[in-house]
Structure 1
Amino acid sequence: MNHVPPPPLAPPLAPPRTPRRRQRLLHWFRSRSLRSRLTFLSAAAVAVAIALSALACWFIVEKQLYDQVRTDLANATLPPGPRVPLLCYPTAEQALANQPTGLTSENGSAVARDTQFVKANPTGVCLPPNATKAIVVQPGDTAGFKLKNGQSIIRDGRFTDGTPAVVRISLTHSLSGPALLMVATSTQPVEDSLQGLAILLGSVSAGGILLAAVAGRLVARSSLKPVDQLTDAVEHIARTEEVGTTIPVNGHDEIARLSTSFNSMSTALANSRERQTRLIADAGHELRTPLTSLRTNVDLLIRSNDTGRPLPAATKTKLLGNMKAQMQELTVLIGDLLQLSRPDTPKSGPAPTVVALHELAGRAVERAKLRGPGLVFETDTEPWYVHGDAAGLERAVINLLDNAVKYSPPGGTIDVRLHRGVLTVRDHGPGIPPDELQYVFDRFWRSPSSRQLPGSGLGLSIVAQSVREAGGEVTLGPAADGGPGALATVRLPGGPAPE
């Protein structure tokens, strides 16, 4: 059994290059500047529009000129039958090559040179005397023998020398038997006119595209000038870190909106940096006092130990008590700073849960009673459930109660009410002067009349932040009945039943 070798493997087909070229073209286009891309796109759009307009114009003119030639040929009066003998040959080329000269018609005028006769029997092409052109006969011209009187066929053709022409074919009986009368009009002038029109349209199109590119460059430069200003401002901020820089805004278009948004962002960054700087300065100022007191007490204890002169037990106990109080104050202050360091956005804290506000208020009141043992707490709460951070809301309520305990006179009364989502805490202390109400929720702000009392000025700021994160609002003002004391009001959305 003969072994037949397998056929050779065909070479692998080369991968198509079109996607790679397209990718390289896209990469090149995207690597250009925005100004260059706008210039290119505007010039390309104008070029396409001009090219389409030029082509449409050329085709319209071409159709009009050829229609005019065909109309003139169709309406032309046919020449009379020949008055002189005609020599006929099998083909138009032979008839033209063997044409005699010097023959004229009987009326003294030569037969039209763009006219010829085609006989069917015997087959031949007959030209008039002095003819210099012959029309190329096509196989389909024999259909003219079926025409009736007055009918004609008009088609595109050419002369034997290659000149284009429009040919009219009709049936005549002027010769010995039926024959085709072929009359042709040269369309070379039309071709020349169309060629000149094409050159003219091409030149105009090229000039238009060039002007479009220049105009596109100018338009792109003018349109992107605000973007350049924005870029300069951003680079200036990145280089100098001077937030708050703004750019002029002109108009109401997309660039103006972008400029306005940038100015708002820059102003917000400047305000944020200012608040951060003020927070650091205020925190440093508040931390300095307890740290200085702690350092003084520690130095006193170390000095008494180094000198061998121990402090009296009562004095030492007082110093240790003061140090403990200062440590507690530092702990509270640091906790408040951590609470306020979170961004003022709902997503920055823990996930909201269903919180029983009435239970939370009850626990806060019990803790407040420990801090104000001589005060009277009158509580009236209804069930109310909200969505928020339970720890943050509880701390907010505790801070309101601590504030009321701090400013209440000995044996005073603190009213706590919760009705349909409105929590009120009212004390009977000195109240808040009207000119200081606008500052009560600012960080580290403390009334000049209460600077001798303990506190960091962060409690009400934490209240405002926690209530705002829960979707509510808080206000602090004088008592509604006109009596002494201050009234804090917290409004939180929710319902009397958990959802």
Structure 2
Amino acid sequence: MSPTVPPPPLTPPRIPRRGRLTTWYRARSLRTRLTFLTAAAVAVAIALSALACWFIVEERMYGVVRSDLENARGSGPPADLNDCTTTPQSALRKVQNSAPQPLAGAAAPRDTQYVIPGPIPRYCLPGMATKAIVPDPADLAVLDLKPSQFVIRDGHYTNGEPALVRISWIKPPALPPTLVMVATSTKAVEDSLRQLAFVLGGVALGGVILAAVAGRLVARSALKPVDQLTDAVEHIARTEEVGTTIPVQGEDEIARLSTSFNSMSTALANSRERQTQLIADAGHELRTPLTSLRTNVDLLIRSDDTGRPLPPATRTKLLGNMKAQMQELTVLIGDLLQLSRPDSPKPVRTLAVVALHEIAERAVERAKLRGPGLVFETATAPWYVHADAAALERAVINLLDNAVKYSPPGGTIEVRLDGGVLTVRDHGPGIPPEELPFVFDRFWRSPSSRQLPGSGLGLSIVAQSVREAGGEVSLGPAQDGGPGALATVRLPGGPTPA
């Protein structure tokens, strides 16, 4: 049996450096990230500005040195070939060990050096020279240029000091073409640039530190509304006290966010208030039929327990009342279920093409059964709408039930549908003007109709169903000045199915 080989130990996956930086960045607070981004942006801006400044200064300073070289005079030839040596160092020592000797022709600047080309080049320095220039084999290429032309290159002295060197050539009498090397030290320039780099680096570092501090202050000031918003949200989450708002200042994105939060908080508070009011009103409305049912049931049970049955007529009347109360309770529960749906309209894709004139005709037939002594005058023209058929039919039935409830015996109810406008006119007592603003409120009932059956939810269901279909509904006095009320429903659509 072969020995069992243990599995290799599990090692965590190696996270790339970039991934670690991203993880660290996302783990910071918004204030810290804003401070970091501000400092980084300022650091980049300062670094680019410092680099641009350094390069500009470098170009200007070297430009001055080049300009001086272009205008330097170094055309004086050596006085004697014997004064030249085979190396720049030996030529410099010879000059330093002897008294200054003038050159033939014009005087040359101190940093001038002459090179006589040949198998063994010879170097000459003016009598006042203090430095020798390190030659370059490529300098001989200047002989291909005209005597008035020159070349400037980077170079250095024999002591290692950096310099800019101008190379040209002349033709002295009795001598071969001679190279003229004129140099200007750039040590001062490089020292100045080095100091400038330190200064700019210090300024950049100080700027980054100041930017971080300023970014922190700016982040604290800019995110103060966000902190207030966060505190408000945490307060609501902790106490469930909706309706809390925060002050809004300005018109920026933070102000818009605060305004939206205030609107949302207010909407939630209103929704909870409506929900609480709905529960309270529903409990109040349910209490009456339930109490009546319980009383009637207790009366029946007590009559059976005592052995004294109720008279048949009383028992029949009692059972009829119970049935009516059960029907009223069923209608009330159905109305509550209807109103428990969201107030926002359903998307158009969930609706269907509905024949409003057919719905109105079916509703009139059902209303005739509920008001057998009433006269219905109906005139409906074809009209098709996008709506929920069941909800819309319930809304029309509720309008007709309201008209039947308030119509006098033998009264007339007029139903008209023309051009998408459905009107229902009764000839009852009408609605007082001061009560018109409340007719579509849930559980609202006119003081004069409290003794009539109903829950006060019918017209609320009408308003909600019509609103979901994209229409509008109104209720007011009859337009001809006669008795009764006029309900008007306007729904978008057309005379033919679309």
Same fold (TM > 0.5):
yes
Per the alignment, residue 213 of structure 1 pairs with 212
For the Cα contact (< 8 Å) 1:82–1:105, is it kept in 2?
Answer: no
Larger mean CA deviation between 92-101 and 178-187 belongs to 92-101
For the Cα contact (< 8 Å) 1:230–1:259, is it kept in 2?
Answer: yes
Per the alignment, residue 269 of structure 1 pairs with 268
Per the alignment, residue 303 of structure 1 pairs with 302
Q: CA deviation digits over 1:336-359, x for unaligned, max 9?
A: 000000011223899211111111
Larger mean CA deviation between 139-148 and 380-389 belongs to 139-148
User: In the TM superposition, what is the alpha-carbon distance from 1:125 to its structure 2 partner?
Assistant: 3.2
Per the alignment, residue 116 of structure 2 pairs with 119
Q: Secondary structure at the match of 2:169?
A: strand
Paired AA for residue 34 in structure 2: L
Per the alignment, residue 5 of structure 1 pairs with none
For the Cα contact (< 8 Å) 1:172–1:180, is it kept in 2?
Answer: yes
Q: Secondary structure at the match of 2:263?
A: helix
Paired AA for residue 46 in structure 1: V
Q: Secondary structure at the match of 1:494?
A: coil
Alpha-carbon distance between aligned partners in 2 of 1:409 and 1:138, rounded to the nearest angstrom = 125
Q: Alignment length, in residue pairs?
A: 483
Q: Secondary structure at the match of 2:76?
A: coil
Paired AA for residue 38 in structure 1: L
Q: Secondary structure at the match of 1:252?
A: coil
Where does the alignment leave 5 or more consecutive residues of structure 1 unmatched? 1-15
Alpha-carbon distance between aligned partners in 1 of 2:179 and 2:71, rounded to the nearest angstrom = 18
User: In the TM superposition, what is the alpha-carbon distance from 1:97 to its structure 2 partner?
Assistant: 5.9
Does 1:46 find its partner at 2:45?
no
User: In the TM superposition, what is the alpha-carbon distance from 1:157 to its structure 2 partner?
Assistant: 1.1
User: In the TM superposition, what is the alpha-carbon distance from 1:287 to its structure 2 partner?
Assistant: 0.1
User: In the TM superposition, what is the alpha-carbon distance from 1:313 to its structure 2 partner?
Assistant: 1.0
Per the alignment, residue 392 of structure 2 pairs with 393
Per the alignment, residue 25 of structure 1 pairs with 21
Q: After superposition, where does 1:6-405 map in structure 2 within 5 Å? A: 20-78=16-74, 80-83=76-79, 86-93=82-89, 95-96=91-92, 101-106=97-102, 112-128=109-125, 129=127, 131-174=129-172, 176-347=175-346, 351-405=350-404
Q: CA deviation digits over 1:168-197, x for unaligned, max 9?
A: 112123372221111111110110111111
User: In the TM superposition, what is the alpha-carbon distance from 1:81 to its structure 2 partner?
Assistant: 2.5
Larger mean CA deviation between 266-275 and 458-467 belongs to 266-275
For the Cα contact (< 8 Å) 2:168–2:181, is it kept in 1?
Answer: yes
User: In the TM superposition, what is the alpha-carbon distance from 1:390 to its structure 2 partner?
Assistant: 0.3
Structure 2 CA distance for partners of 1:389 and 1:100, relative to 1, 3 Å: closer
Alpha-carbon distance between aligned partners in 1 of 2:471 and 2:108, rounded to the nearest angstrom = 108
Structure 2 CA distance for partners of 1:77 and 1:132, relative to 1, 3 Å: closer
Q: Secondary structure at the match of 1:355?
A: strand
Alpha-carbon distance between aligned partners in 1 of 2:355 and 2:307, rounded to the nearest angstrom = 59
User: In the TM superposition, what is the alpha-carbon distance from 1:62 to its structure 2 partner?
Assistant: 0.5
Paired AA for residue 397 in structure 1: V
Per the alignment, residue 487 of structure 2 pairs with 488
Paired AA for residue 54 in structure 1: A
For the Cα contact (< 8 Å) 1:127–1:134, is it kept in 2?
Answer: no
Paired AA for residue 496 in structure 1: P
Alpha-carbon distance between aligned partners in 1 of 2:329 and 2:16, rounded to the nearest angstrom = 67
User: In the TM superposition, what is the alpha-carbon distance from 1:113 to its structure 2 partner?
Assistant: 4.1
Structure 2 CA distance for partners of 1:86 and 1:207, relative to 1, 3 Å: farther
Moved over 6 A (4+): 107-111
Structure 2 CA distance for partners of 1:183 and 1:118, relative to 1, 3 Å: same
User: In the TM superposition, what is the alpha-carbon distance from 1:21 to its structure 2 partner?
Assistant: 1.7
Structure 2 CA distance for partners of 1:351 and 1:85, relative to 1, 3 Å: closer
Per the alignment, residue 415 of structure 1 pairs with 414
User: In the TM superposition, what is the alpha-carbon distance from 1:112 to its structure 2 partner?
Assistant: 4.6
Alignment TM-score, normalising by the size of structure 2? 0.93
Larger mean CA deviation between 107-116 and 179-188 belongs to 107-116
Q: CA deviation digits over 1:438-473, x for unaligned, max 9?
A: 000000000000000000000000000000000000
Where does the alignment leave 5 or more consecutive residues of structure 2 unmatched? 1-12
Paired AA for residue 73 in structure 2: T
Structure 2 CA distance for partners of 1:332 and 1:350, relative to 1, 3 Å: farther
User: In the TM superposition, what is the alpha-carbon distance from 1:69 to its structure 2 partner?
Assistant: 0.5
Q: Secondary structure at the match of 1:38?
A: helix
Alpha-carbon distance between aligned partners in 2 of 1:132 and 1:450, rounded to the nearest angstrom = 123
User: In the TM superposition, what is the alpha-carbon distance from 1:151 to its structure 2 partner?
Assistant: 2.2
Alpha-carbon distance between aligned partners in 1 of 2:347 and 2:139, rounded to the nearest angstrom = 91
Alpha-carbon distance between aligned partners in 2 of 1:352 and 1:94, rounded to the nearest angstrom = 107
For the Cα contact (< 8 Å) 1:377–1:415, is it kept in 2?
Answer: yes
User: In the TM superposition, what is the alpha-carbon distance from 1:100 to its structure 2 partner?
Assistant: 6.2
Q: Secondary structure at the match of 2:24?
A: helix
For the Cα contact (< 8 Å) 2:363–2:397, is it kept in 1?
Answer: yes
Paired AA for residue 164 in structure 2: V
Alpha-carbon distance between aligned partners in 1 of 2:53 and 2:398, rounded to the nearest angstrom = 84
User: In the TM superposition, what is the alpha-carbon distance from 1:161 to its structure 2 partner?
Assistant: 2.0
Q: CA deviation digits over 1:216-270, x for unaligned, max 9?
A: 1111110000111111111111111111111111111111111111111111111
Alpha-carbon distance between aligned partners in 2 of 1:85 and 1:386, rounded to the nearest angstrom = 117
User: What value does the CA root-mean-square deviation take over the aligned residues?
Assistant: 2.1
Q: Secondary structure at the match of 1:303?
A: helix
User: In the TM superposition, what is the alpha-carbon distance from 1:386 to its structure 2 partner?
Assistant: 0.6
Paired AA for residue 118 in structure 1: V
Alpha-carbon distance between aligned partners in 2 of 1:419 and 1:111, rounded to the nearest angstrom = 114
Aligned residues with identical type, % of pairs: 74
For the Cα contact (< 8 Å) 1:407–1:429, is it kept in 2?
Answer: yes
Paired AA for residue 144 in structure 1: V
Q: Secondary structure at the match of 1:123?
A: coil
Per the alignment, residue 13 of structure 1 pairs with none
Per the alignment, residue 8 of structure 1 pairs with none
Paired AA for residue 125 in structure 1: R
Structure 2 CA distance for partners of 1:205 and 1:86, relative to 1, 3 Å: farther
